[in-house]
């Protein structure tokens, strides 16, 4: 079946199926389940996909909801920095995907290999073709380590190489490499940043702070050189308030800062890193430990589809959605949630917590032929660990506007309470989010 | 964040510790029940012991969260630490009050 992407795709059919659509407001839409027989497919069985599946299951009765994603093991990714800082065991972030899903959600444990938005089907790795009336893209993002010459993920944990993003095991291996640096008694640690949008963009900074904290604990901090390489001019974080704080703190901590330098390659055996400068010149830096941050994008299957941004800063790399409604700009029956979307901010679990209810309300409104009134304001949050034992609760949204949730917690003050929130409370909040409860 | 949301998160945070909370309640109930026939005035050491327990809790709490006392710097930090101390002190007092008696 084909339909013009600019027309309200199968909306009449969906309207007919939405028998209980006598509701008038988003609040009313959420008050009782909407009746619909729409075939809803959710791509991605990570945090965003699971949260959306559980929410839609509760708010829509009669629909066939299918979750697509091969990963049987669920990872609490905000815990990776805790593992890589030597504070948590990897087991603490592991659970099974199945345990988070309501019983009546169909979960197909396969990856999506193709998306045809015009004809409204997706193809899975088992060659199954799945038609949909409404698609939620929540695939997460892709770590493009291969774009760093000479680098393979198997190197993480060897030759002084660490990277917090790859997996819980990689985070653990990163911590082991930092331990090895400390055991050496002296050396140089390099921390890098990619020039693409990043999920948990604070993670590279946290890794720098916690490593400095560990080095300080040895009582011989002066024997270690710590340097941070950023591709941006005088910037490591998008929000000026936090950028200034971090750079100032690093100055106090004797962390070297080198801007406008992008990591392009590694020679693992000789422990040399290659950087390209803004003016096109290159340089190489010796290291004893390096923290690698990969370039990121939407997964290839999204990039190869018609769903990807066609122009602008996210062109060819991220899912095209309206940054407020989270609805696809050209295919109205497609919504996006989580790391995959091309919006100015919004690649953390905290973002998903805010995006999921917005997408849910707008999906219900779409199925009921109502205006899409729910708005995502770009909220994202990152308890920025500034030392092992204290953190700043940075919360902000579009245009870098600070959005503190708790009036009594200063968004610019280091605090033990915020550390406790990161250490003890965020995982429960995340779990509640997966269940669609917050 | 809404009150509902905060309560829901607190519930999720408490869930893994329900066994411990139950144990604390059980210990308290058992102490009060078993000591209900004890006679006499409260022992002079009751309050000092409860206060000492509260102080120990305040000293230990940051370490239990992989932090340190020196990082308790903002007023919400201090308020939380004080709440932990007072809570421990009151619990200790209730737990011991039936037993710390003098004839």
- A15-19, A252-256, A272-276: the lowest-pLDDT one: A15-19
Cβ within 8 Å of residue A425, ≥6 positions away:
B9, B13
Nearest chain B Cα distance for residue A36, angstroms: 28
Going by C-beta distance under 8 Å and a sequence separation of 6 or more, which residues neighbour residue A413? A392, B73, B74
Q: Average pLDDT over chain A, rounded to whole?
A: 93
Q: What is the DSSP string of B44-97?
A: TTHHHHHHHHHHHHHHHHHHHTT--GGG--SHHHHHHHHHHHHHHHHHHHHHHT
Determine the residue among A416, A427, A436, A438 to mutate to test chain B binding: the one whose Cβ has the most chain B Cβ atoms within 10 Å.
A416
Q: Under a CB-based contact definition with an 8 Å cutoff, are residues A65 and A53 in contact?
A: yes
Report the distance separating Cα A422 and Cα A386, nearest Å: 12
**Which residue did the predictor score with more confidence, A137 or B5?**
A137
**Domain assignment of residue A406, yes or no:** no
* Nearest CB partner across the interface for B77, out of A405, A417, A438: A417
Q: Under an 8 A CB cutoff, do B12 and A429 touch?
A: yes
Residue A131 has pLDDT above 60, yes or no: yes
8 A C-beta contact, residue B27 and residue B95:
yes
- pLDDT of A13 strictly over 80: no
- Residue A364 in any domain: the answer is yes
What pLDDT score does B100 carry?
Answer: 85
Query: Nearest CA to CA, how far is A316 from chain B (Å)?
Result: 35
For residues A395 and A378, the answer to whether their CB atoms sit within 8 Å is no
Which residues are bridge partners to A263 per DSSP? A275
Neighbours of B54 (CB within 10 A): 21
Of A205, A208, A231, A74, the closest CA to residue A140 belongs to A74
Q: What is the per-residue DSSP string for A366-423? A: HHTT----------EEEEEEEETTEEEEEEE-GGG-B--S-TTS-TTS-BHHHHHIII
Query: Which residues of chain B lie closer than 8 angstroms to A409, CB-CB?
Result: 74, 76
Residue range A128-152: mean pLDDT, rounded:
98
B39 touches chain A (CB under 8 A): no
pLDDT given for residue B40 in this prediction? 84
Measured between alpha carbons, how far is A2 from A118 in angstroms, rounded to an integer? 6
Cβ–Cβ under 8 Å, residues A367 and A378:
no
Q: Using the 8-state DSSP alphabet, how is residue A320 labeled?
A: -
A389-431 pLDDT, tens digit per residue, is 999 999 999 999 999 988 899 998 999 999 999 999 999 999 9
Q: Are residues A212 and A239 in the same domain?
A: yes
* Residue A344 CA neighbour count, 13 Å, CB half: 15
A310 touches chain B (CB under 8 A): no
What is the per-residue pLDDT for A12? 42
CA dist A163 and A270 (Å) reads 18
Q: How far is CA A317 from CA A72, A152, A298, A323, in A?
A: 26, 22, 6, 15
d(CA B72, CA B93): 26
CA distance B5 to A405: 12
Helix (H) or strand (E) holding A12: helix A11-17
Query: Using the beta-carbon criterion (under 8 Å), do A389 and B68 form an inter-chain contact?
Result: yes
- Both A321 and A287 in one domain: the answer is no
What is the band of A31 on the pLDDT scale with cuts at 50, 70, 90?
low
Contact indicator for B58, B81 with CB cutoff of 8 Å:
yes
Altogether, the residues listed in chain A come to a count of 438
Domain limit, last residue, from A241, A273, A296? A296
Is B72 within 8 Å of A419 when comparing Cβ atoms?
Answer: no
What residues 348-387 of chain A have any CB closer than 8 A to a CB of chain B? 387
Is A69 domain-assigned?
Answer: yes
Q: Which of the residues B71, B73, B78, B82 would you substitute to probe the A interface, choosing the one with the greatest number of A C-beta atoms within 10 Å?
A: B71
Assess whether pLDDT exceeds 80 at residue A15: no
Average pLDDT over residues B58-67: 96
Chain A residues whose CB is inside 8 A of the B73 CB are 390, 413-416
Number of domain units in chain A: 2
Question: How far is residue A252 from each of residues A95, A242, A248, A387, measured CA to CA in Å?
Answer: 40, 15, 6, 13
Show which of residues 393-432 on chain A sit within 8 Å of chain B, judged by CB atoms: 405-406, 408-410, 413-417, 419-420, 423-425, 428-429, 431-432
Q: Are residues A129 and A270 in the same domain?
A: no
- Residues of chain A contacting residue B81, judged by C-beta atoms under 8 Å apart: 416
Q: A256 and A291: one domain? A: yes
Q: What is the pLDDT of residues A214-267, one digit of tens each?
A: 999 999 999 999 999 999 999 999 999 999 999 999 999 999 999 999 999 999
- Strand ranges (E), A168-238: 187-192, 224-229
Residue A13 lies inside a defined structural domain of this protein? no
Angle at A133 between CA A340 and CA A360, to 5 degrees: 55
Q: Which residue among A414, A420, A438 places its CB closest to the CB of B5?
A: A438
Same domain for A263 and A252? yes
In terms of domains, do A258 and A305 share one?
no
Chain A residues near residue B5 by CB distance under 8 angstroms: 438
Q: Which of A191, A183, A157, A181 is nearest to A171 (CA)?
A: A157
Q: Is pLDDT above 50 for A207?
A: yes
Return the pLDDT at B95. 95
Cβ <8 Å between B65 and A416:
yes
Structural domain boundaries, residue A176: 145-296
**Exposed/middle/buried for residue B37 (C-beta within 10 Å: 0-12, 13-18, 19+):** exposed
Residue A30 is predicted with a pLDDT of 53
Where is the domain boundary, A279, A296, A313? Answer: A296
Q: A38 vs chain B: nearest CA distance in angstroms?
A: 30
> Which among B12, B67, B80 is the nearest to A389, CB-wise?
B67
pLDDT attached to residue A8: 43
Same domain, A314 and A291: no
d(CA A309, CA A303): 8
Answer yes or no: do A61 and A134 share one domain.
yes
Q: Residue A33: which of A352, A356, A367, A336 has the closest Cα?
A: A367
Q: Are residues A375 and A354 in the same domain?
A: yes
Output the pTM of the full model: 0.90
Query: Is A402 among the domain residues?
Result: no
Q: Is the pLDDT of residue A141 over 90?
A: yes
d(CA A356, CA A326): 9
What does the pLDDT average to over A135-163?
Answer: 97
Q: Which of these, A327, A325, A298, lies nearest to A314 by C-alpha position?
A: A298
* Boundary of a domain, candidates A246, A278, A296: A296
Q: Answer whether residue A288 is part of any domain.
A: yes
Examine the domain organization and report whether A314 and A261 are in the same domain: no
d(CA A18, CA A35): 5
Asked whether A404 and A396 are in contact (CB, 8 A), the reply is: no
Of A408, A420, A425, the CB nearest to B9: A425
Question: Do the domain assignments include residue A405?
Answer: no
Which of A388, A410, A413 shows the shortest C-beta gap to B66? A388
Does the ipTM surpass 0.85? yes
Domain assignment present for A79: yes
Size of interface A-B (CB pairs under 8 A): 73
Q: Check if B73 contacts A (Cβ < 8 Å).
A: yes
3-state secondary structure of A264: strand
* Cβ–Cβ < 8 Å for A39, A60: no
Question: Both A280 and A153 in a single domain?
Answer: yes
Task: Give the closest residue to A293 by CA, choosing from A194, A201, A154, A171.
Answer: A194
Crossing angle between the packed helical segments B46-64 and B75-96, to the nearest 10 degrees: 140
The CATH number linked to A190 is 3.50.50.60
- Nearest-CA residue of chain B relative to A350? B1
Any idea what the Cα angle at residue B38 is, between residues B37 and B41, rounded to 5°? 135
- Identify whether residues A195 and A96 lie together within a single domain: no
CB < 8 Å to B77, chain A? 415-417
Q: Which residues lie across from A40 on neighbouring strands?
A: A65, A134
Q: What is the pLDDT of residues A44-100, one digit of tens each?
A: 999 999 999 999 999 999 999 999 999 999 999 999 999 999 999 999 999 999 999
Using H for helix, E for strand and C for coil, what is the string for B20-51?
A: HHHHHHHHHHHHHHHCCCCCCEECCCHHHHHH
**Of all helices (H) and strands (E), which one includes residue A245?**
helix A240-252
């Amino acid at each position: 079946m084909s339909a013009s992407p600019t027309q309200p795709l199968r909306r009449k059919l969906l309207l007919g199926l939405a028998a209980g659509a006598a509701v008038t407001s988003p609040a009313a839409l959420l008050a009782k389940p909407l009746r619909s027989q729409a075939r809803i497919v959710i791509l991605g069985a990570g945090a965003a996909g699971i949260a959306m599946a559980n929410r839609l299951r509760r708010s829509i009765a009669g629909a066939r909801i299918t979750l697509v994603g091969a990963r049987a093991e669920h990872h609490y990714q905000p815990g990776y920095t805790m593992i890589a800082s030597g504070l948590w065991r990897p087991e603490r972030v592991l659970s099974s995907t199945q345990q988070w899903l309501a019983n009546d959600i169909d979960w197909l444990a396969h990856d999506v290999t193709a998306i045809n938005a015009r004809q409204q089907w997706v193809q899975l790795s088992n060659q199954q073709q799945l038609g949909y009336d409404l698609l939620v893209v929540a695939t997460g993002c892709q770590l493009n380590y291969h774009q760093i010459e000479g680098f393979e993920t198997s190197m993480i944990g060897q030759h002084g190489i660490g990277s917090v993003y790859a997996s819980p095991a990689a985070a653990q291996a990163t911590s082991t490499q930092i331990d090895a640096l400390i055991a050496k008694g002296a050396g140089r640690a390099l921390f890098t940043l990619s020039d693409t949008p990043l999920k948990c963009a604070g993670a590279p900074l946290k890794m720098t702070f916690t490593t400095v904290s560990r080095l300080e604990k040895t009582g011989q901090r002066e024997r270690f050189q710590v340097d941070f390489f950023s591709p941006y001019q005088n910037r490591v974080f998008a929000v000026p308030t936090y950028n200034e704080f971090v750079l100032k703190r690093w100055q106090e901590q004797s962390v070297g800062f080198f801007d406008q330098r992008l990591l392009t390659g590694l020679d693992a055996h000789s422990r040399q890193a290659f950087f390209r400068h803004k003016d096109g010149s290159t340089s190489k830096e010796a290291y004893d430990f390096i923290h690698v941050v990969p370039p990121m994008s939407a997964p290839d299957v999204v990039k190869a589809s018609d769903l990807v941004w066609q122009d602008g800063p996210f062109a060819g790399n991220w899912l095209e959605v309206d940054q407020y409604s989270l609805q696809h700009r050209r295919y109205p029956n497609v919504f996006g949630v989580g790391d995959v979307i091309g919006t100015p901010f919004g690649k953390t679990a905290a973002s998903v917590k805010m995006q999921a209810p917005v997408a849910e309300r707008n999906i219900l409104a779409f199925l009921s032929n109502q205006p899409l009134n729910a708005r995502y304001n770009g909220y994202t949050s990152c308890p920025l660990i500034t030392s092992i034992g204290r953190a700043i609760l940075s919360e902000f949204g579009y245009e870098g506007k600070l959005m503190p949730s708790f009036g009594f917690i200063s968004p610019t003050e280091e605090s033990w309470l915020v550390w406790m929130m990161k250490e003890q409370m965020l995982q429960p909040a995340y779990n509640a989010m997966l269940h669609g409860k917050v | 964040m809404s009150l509902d949301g905060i309560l829901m998160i607190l519930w999720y945070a408490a869930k893994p510790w329900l066994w411990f909370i139950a144990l604390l309640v059980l210990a308290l109930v058992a102490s009060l029940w078993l000591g209900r026939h004890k006679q006499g005035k409260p022992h002079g050491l009751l309050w000092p012991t409860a206060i000492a327990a509260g102080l120990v809790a305040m000293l230990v709490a940051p370490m239990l969260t992989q932090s340190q006392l020196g990082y308790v710097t903002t007023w919400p930090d201090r308020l939380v630490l004080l709440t932990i101390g007072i809570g421990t002190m009151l619990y200790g007092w209730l737990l011991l009050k039936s037993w710390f008696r003098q004839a």
